[in-house]
Amino acid sequence: MSSPLSIACFLMKTRSLSPEVLELVARRFAVLAEPMRLRLLQSLIDGEKNVHTLVGLTGGTQANVSRHLQTLTDAHLLRRRKEGLQVFYAIADPSIFKLCELVCGSLEKEHAARAGVFRGE
């Protein structure tokens, strides 16, 4: 309750966050609220990749993948590196994986009594 998170968290837990901050937080969640973008983030876990590779890994069209990469980059979740003809994208904010872990854990608990969708059953 002291380091980088402190101030915003303190506000979150005690007084009201300003509408502006709520907008920012909501926007961050919205960026993560698309399966294709999650898939792209997941594809980048083991290092930067160019667009062509990501198109192959995700099975999306080039245009669509490119748009989602832009959305993620605009949100500062990815960084872009141009090298000749190719553009390489990489995770810029690893904290997103903690987010996904939390969500997965929560969902897992939630669905624990039901079908084992998380185990591919």
Binding site for DNA (CB under 7 A): 30, 33-34, 36-37, 50-52, 55, 60-64, 66-71, 80, 82, 84-87
Interface pattern 38-67 for its own copies (x via CB under 8 A):
xx--x--x----------------------
* Shortest Å, Cβ 50 to DNA: 3
Give, for 77, the enclosing helix (H) or strand (E): none
**Contacted entry of DNA, its own copies, none for residue 110, CB cut-off 5 to 8 Å set by kind:** its own copies
**Contacted entry of DNA, its own copies, none for residue 85, CB cut-off 5 to 8 Å set by kind:** DNA
What is the distance between the alpha carbons of residues 40 and 13, in angstroms, rounded to a whole number?
32
Contacts of 42 by beta carbon, 8 Å cutoff, 6+ apart: none
Among 47, 63, 109, 114, binds its own copies (CB under 8 A): 109
8 Å CB contact between 78 and 84: no
